[in-house]
């Protein structure tokens, strides 16, 4: 079973802090790595994604760092806000068009306290 390992399981950060969520994968064939954000009662929503030809991608306050040799990638949220409190999932797929089946991490429940 192809796996994506995600940590931590839960995270509490003060407003303005920088939560960091980490993921590691085994299958070197993976070539598309998205992060999804999920609020209670809603489906996951694509936040940001990276392909292995770059080491970092930034969109607004969200940054993915990617380390191909270590087979790890992480999500950083700058200037975190209470509205960022949600569950975050990393994922990976083979086929970098972004519409192939995803293998998801187990999720990180993030709480931003005022």
State yes or no: residue 40 binds another protein (CB under 8 A): no
Binding mask 59-88 for another protein (x = CB under 8 A): ------------------------------
Q: Between the CA of residue 97 and those of 41, 63, 68, 78, what are the distances in Å?
A: 28, 20, 18, 27
Q: Which of 75, 86, 102, 110 binds another protein (CB under 8 A)?
A: 102
Q: Is 13 in the site for another protein (CB under 8 A)?
A: no
d(CA 110, CA 11): 5
CB-based contacts of 42, cutoff 8 Å, min separation 6: none
Of these, 12, 29, 45, 54, which contacts another protein (CB under 8 A)? Answer: 45
Q: Kindly list the residues in this chain that would bind another protein in the complex (CB under 8 A).
A: 34, 36, 41-46, 49, 89, 97-99, 101-107
């Amino acid at each position: 079973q192809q796996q994506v390992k995600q940590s931590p399981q839960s995270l509490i950060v003060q407003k303005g802090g920088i939560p960091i969520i980490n993921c590691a994968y085994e299958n070197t064939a993976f070539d598309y790595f998205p992060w999804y954000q999920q609020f209670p009662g809603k489906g996951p929503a694509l936040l940001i994604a990276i392909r292995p030809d770059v080491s970092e991608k930034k969109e607004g306050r969200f940054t993915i760092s990617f380390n191909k040799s270590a087979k790890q990638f992480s999500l950083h949220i700058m200037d975190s806000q209470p509205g960022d409190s949600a569950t975050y999932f990393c994922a990976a797929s083979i086929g970098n068009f972004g519409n192939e089946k995803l293998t998801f991490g187990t999720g990180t429940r993030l709480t931003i306290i005022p």
